[in-house]
Amino acid sequence: MKRFSKEENSWIFYDWANSAYSIIISTAVFPLFYKAAATNAGVSPSDSTAYLGYTVAIATFILAMLSPILGTIADYQGYKKKFFTFFFALGVTFTAILAFVPSDQWLLLLIFYTVAAIGSAGSNVFYDAFLTDVTTEDRMNKVSSRGFGFGYIGSTIPFIISIAIIVLSQNGTLPLSTTAASKIAFIITAIWWGLFSIPLIKNVHQRYFIEREPKPVVNSFKRLGKTLKEIRQYRALFLFLLAYFFYIDGVGTIITMSTAYGTDLGITATNLLIILFVTQVVAGPFAILYGRLAERFTGKKMLYVGISVYIVVCIYAYFLETTLDFWILAMLVASSQGGIQALSRAYFAKLIPKKNSNEFFGFYNIFGKFASILGPLLVGVTAQVTGDSSSGVFSLVILFIIGLIILAFVPEPKAGEVNKPTIL
């Protein structure tokens, strides 16, 4: 970390903070907690998985609608940090509130989970946009990958604590029910997320911005409309967003639905938690490795590698039968999920004008979030129609293939390219 500046380190540590939410709430403990609550209420496994998918779709739709608008306003001087802090506080607060929802109220759990998800994903829009403020273009692959790497590594600490509490409650060592242990994990997540976000709030500042002007909201809508009209003129930017729309769909869906999918296959909660823990440990070094390899082979070639691995994941998932198969699948995902996200973020950051970073990352987010609506819906509908969750995961393979094909037409990012429009 000594090779990174104070601003870079502070930015990196937000991944360390927020990733606790990603693993404990989005991926591991909450889905298991919710599935148990739904089962106790008489909801079938395939239906409860579908409802979780629909909930993720609703949350991402809401944020997708808000991101470009809020991002455009946040490009004004002094606004980026305020928007970041609001969504961060929203996420932390409702993550903690999950601990106080009665365990038999599965619908209420999904509603509060939706608000927490909006807070988490919303803060990430502005966090991603801060990448242009904390580092230079030639260091973006390294800094972005280090963020994901430290996020995976850091998240294992509250995850281990949470797993230990849950397992010890299950075997009777701790005088707690599994439900109470899961709720404690939600509190741990909120505290961890809030505590390690302090360096970013304190040390990271908006260096690139648009000067404030009268009627900022009205003028923000005008700038947003102008960008919408002109975005197709930027060939590299437009093509990359189109490719990203498809391949990140599958990545996000596999991350958010993996635990529910494993439960449907009959894998025990304990095994799922252990697998997810090891996945986090493996994913950290691989994310950093992707950043280093991108400096040698270019970010685009490493994105090819990551997408190809996910195609294999989707095909393998269809034939999944045993816990060992799920282990193999998890390690394949671990090898690429951090790298593909980190390099996508860095690739996009190199293509955009720095003073409009929030506005353009709003579009980056809307492409990613709209894609994340399609994926969970696809898995949910397929699972209900076929009665088989494996078919839903397999259906995602077409999205990765389309993304891979479009990415082949995206030119390598060059400094200042976004300021030289070329009609597509």
> What mean pLDDT value characterizes the chain?
83
**Residue type for position 172:** G
Judge residue 387's burial from the number of C-beta atoms within 10 Å of its C-beta, 0-12 exposed, 13-18 middle, 19 or more buried.
exposed
- Look-up: residue for tokens 């397929």? 382
Q: With b meaning 16 or more CB within 10 Å and e meaning fewer, what string describes 136-159?
A: ebebbbbbbbbbbbbbbbbbbebb
Which pLDDT belongs to residue 309?
A: 93
Residue 234, φ and ψ in degrees, nearest 5: -95, 90
pTM over 0.95, yes/no: no
**C-alpha torsion sign, points 211, 216, 222, 228:** positive
Beta bridge partners of 422: 234
pLDDT, mean of residues 90-111: 91
Helix (H, G, I), strand (E, B) or coil at 191: helix
Identity of the highest mean pLDDT range in 64-73, 383-392, 404-413: 404-413
Place of tokens 């094909």: 405
pLDDT category at 307 given cuts 50, 70, 90 is very high
Query: Which residues have C-beta within 8 Å of that of residue 163, sequence separation ≥ 6?
Result: 273, 274, 277
Percent of the chain as helix, strand, coil, to the nearest 5:
80, 0, 15
Q: Which whole number is the average pLDDT over 243-262?
A: 78
pLDDT confidence band for 233 (50 / 70 / 90): low
Question: Which residues have CB under 8 Å from 57's CB, separation 6+?
Answer: 372, 373, 376, 377, 380
Burial of 303 (0-12, 13-18, 19+ CB in 10 A): buried
Measure the CA dihedral 23/294/412/374, to 10°. Answer: -20
Q: Give the residue, 8 or 262, on which the prediction is more confident.
A: 8
Q: pLDDT value at position 17?
A: 92
Sequence spans of domains, the chain: 6-204+218-419
In the CATH scheme, what is the code of domain 6-204+218-419?
1.20.1250.20
**% of the chain beyond a pLDDT of 90:** 27
At residue 248, the pLDDT reads: 86
Largest separation between any pair of C-alpha atoms in the chain: 66
Tell me how far apart the alpha carbons of residues 345 and 144 are, in angstroms, rounded to a whole number.
7
> Does residue 260 or residue 198 have the better pLDDT?
198
| Partners of 76 in beta bridges | 210
Phi, psi of 129 (to 5 degrees): -65, -25
